[in-house]
Amino acid sequence: MQLPILDPSNPEQDFPEIASALAEPDGLLAAGGCLSPQRIVKAYRQGIFPWYNSGEPILWWSPNPRLVLFPSQLVVSRSLKKTIRKQLFKLSYDQAFPQVMRYCAAPRAKESGTWITEEMYLAYTKLHQQGVAHSFEAWFDDELVGGLYGIAIGQVFFGESMFHQKTDASKVAFCCLVQQLSQWGYQLIDCQVHSDHLTSLGAEEINRDKFSKFLTQYCPASPTELAWK
């Protein structure tokens, strides 16, 4: 099967139907196109996200099943609750978006590369400037030690990546983000694909059709006026 190729000069071009995504590799839908704000937002609204390594063409994915977290289903272990109560970390949002992305882009242990290319960094920082992409940060002694970033559309937060430089920093940031999103009226957090780390926090897998229906319901809706202010 030939993979559909998107036109990089036409950010409004429609994506193929997500049902046509490959089963192997799971969810690969299309290649090419661009990382303009219009293209990226259009993708997320349809349950599609870009993921590719440096040197590759842009690849667009819509995996099945999809890992999601409903804010009310957040699971916080006893030990993590104890860490949160200690208030070891100062928490903030949208105070260090570029730095969070840079930390997330750093190669992980036993890895030599990163999927957060310079092109991706520039695209998402532009979305942050437009109020679409957001970060949540954890600080220790005024040093950034953990955080995550993602895309917010309607009542859905699409998580992209997280990092930690100190034990439990990213978990604390994530839990506090979920609680904050819940207060703002968010209904769904997209976690993309299976992760033991995220399933331990309450994330679950749902089929792609169900995920798509949730997006149709929640993306046009609005969170509270105070969201991200």
Alpha-carbon gap, residue 138 to 91, rounded angstroms: 5
pLDDT of 107: 78
90 shares a domain with 53: no
pLDDT of 117: 92
End position of a domain, from candidates 65, 88, 114: 65
The answer to whether residue 36 is domain-embedded is yes
The answer to whether residue 160 is domain-embedded is yes
150 shares a domain with 74: yes
The answer to whether residue 227 is domain-embedded is no
- Domain count across the chain: 2
| pLDDT tens digit sequence for 88-113 | 999 999 999 999 999 999 976 555 45
Average pLDDT over residues 159-181: 96
Place of tokens 């994330």: 203
Identify the sign of the CA torsion 51, 56, 59, 65. negative
Q: Which domain holds residue 115?
A: 67-218
Which runs of consecutive H residues, i.e. helices, occur in the chain?
A: 37-45, 78-86, 97-105, 118-129, 169-183, 196-199, 208-218
pLDDT of 109: 57
The CATH number of the domain holding residue 26 is 3.30.70.3550
| pLDDT tens digit sequence for 44-92 | 999 999 999 988 999 999 999 999 999 999 999 999 999 999 999 999 9
What letters, b where the CB count within 10 A reaches 16 and e where it falls short, cover 69-100? bbbeebebeeebeebbeeebbebbbbebbeeb
110 shares a domain with 148: yes
137 shares a domain with 209: yes
Alpha-carbon gap, residue 154 to 222, rounded angstroms: 5
Cis check for the bond before 25: say yes or no (omega within 30 of 0). yes
**How high is the mean pLDDT of the chain?**
95
Average pLDDT over residues 23-36: 97
Q: What percentage of the chain carries pLDDT values higher than 90?
A: 93
The CATH number of the domain holding residue 195 is 3.40.630.70
71 shares a domain with 57: no
112 shares a domain with 13: no
